[in-house]
Amino acid sequence: MATYEQLPGDLNIALNKGDEFGILLDIDRDVTGYTFSAVVYSLVDSSTIATPTLTVTNAALGQVNLSLTETQTSALGVGTYGLRVTWVQPGSVQRTAIDGVCEVKA
């Protein structure tokens, strides 16, 4: 019997409070027409702590840049938060693409 899983990829990041942060996500598909969103959230109550910017840099190759500004990381308290990236495919199919943690250091 075949097995199918639809689980998000894991991505754990660590950054210094007050530093600009950016990472290129290499998604294994053409993301032409997709829209992306991301959130850094509290692991205690799921409230939104920060909203990273996602910029598609090469849709055909599935390359998307996730970034936080110095102002955004300065506003984060030192600690560990959740990180989630979602996409909406053409036709309004929404998926959690990436799930992980964001560790903020002093």
| Structure confidence by residue, pLDDT tens digits, 5-63 | 778 899 999 999 999 999 999 998 999 999 999 999 999 999 999 999 999 999 999 99
Q: What is the model's pLDDT at position 93?
A: 87
CA distance 71 to 78: 14
For the chain, counts of helices (H) and of strands (E): 1, 9
Q: Which residue has the tokens 């799930």?
A: 99
Q: What is the model's pLDDT at position 7?
A: 84
Domain ranges of the chain: 20-105
Fold of 20-105: Immunoglobulin-like (2.60.40)
Mean pLDDT of 86-95: 91
- Per the CB < 8 A criterion, the answer to whether 39 and 48 are in contact is yes
